[in-house]
Structure 1
């Protein structure tokens, strides 16, 4: 598994809402300024499904990221299985400096693991900036 982390300077309830509500996901779910997420749906419960569409702003490509939740503990943890079978774990821990978010995910086999780590970290960094500035 690949692990990424960041600490968001905000209350846990805000972090959870910004992480899980589709109207927020579409604003932060991007690794760079030339990508965006024009669509997101999210049923945050065990057995619930999620789907987001990430697209290049120039229209050259897009893809859906979808899966099913296997664990949901509000303000604490989320686990899911992506439709391609890979597992993801996300832990939220309240600290004196905010909320520490740790994501662990199974790598896919097409791209180098370092590239995957950098991409997922860039999205987590985008989440941090969005929460702290809104």
Structure 2
């Protein structure tokens, strides 16, 4: 089953793309709640390239690597990848002036309820929106 989350970021698509894909930025927004963080991210943004980010609870009680291989990369338009567990993800970027719609569709996993997964991915996307808008306005 596919799940979709989306947001509209008040920033041009070129900046949104940069904030989404550059490891220095990824480590600043890639978490669903304030008690988690991403201390490490690596990104080889090209078809066949790999990425990985380390997501951890700030208190050290839990953590995991999130990674995969890129299937499609179209500058400022689409990023599609296969996660390490075989599930697919597609992110579309639709820029219009100083506004960019980000639509992320992912294959759900079977361990957690769909609603829980959607809320988690949406929380990360909301955190991205907040970071991108604050960074763009500096």
TM-score normalised by L of structure 2 = 0.95
Matched, 1:63 2:64: yes
Q: Are the equivalent residues in 1 in contact too, given 2:52–2:66 (CA < 8 A)?
A: yes
Shift of 1:92: 0.3
The alignment partner of 1:72 has SS state of strand
Structure 1 moving runs of 4+ over 4 Å: none
Partner of 2:6: 5
The alignment partner of 1:15 has SS state of helix
The alignment partner of 1:133 has SS state of helix
Shift of 1:96: 5.2
Q: Are the equivalent residues in 1 in contact too, given 2:12–2:98 (CA < 8 A)?
A: no
Q: Could you give the per-residue CA deviations for residues 66-116 of structure 1, whole angstroms, max 9, x where no partner exists? A: 100000001000000000000000000013560000000000110000000
Q: 5+ residue gaps in structure 2? A: none
Q: Are the equivalent residues in 2 in contact too, given 1:7–1:97 (CA < 8 A)?
A: no
Partner of 1:85: 86
Partner of 1:42: 43
Q: Are the equivalent residues in 1 in contact too, given 2:13–2:96 (CA < 8 A)?
A: no
Q: 5+ residue gaps in structure 1? A: none
Count of residue correspondences: 134
Give the Cα separation in 2 of the matches to 1:96 and 1:43: 28
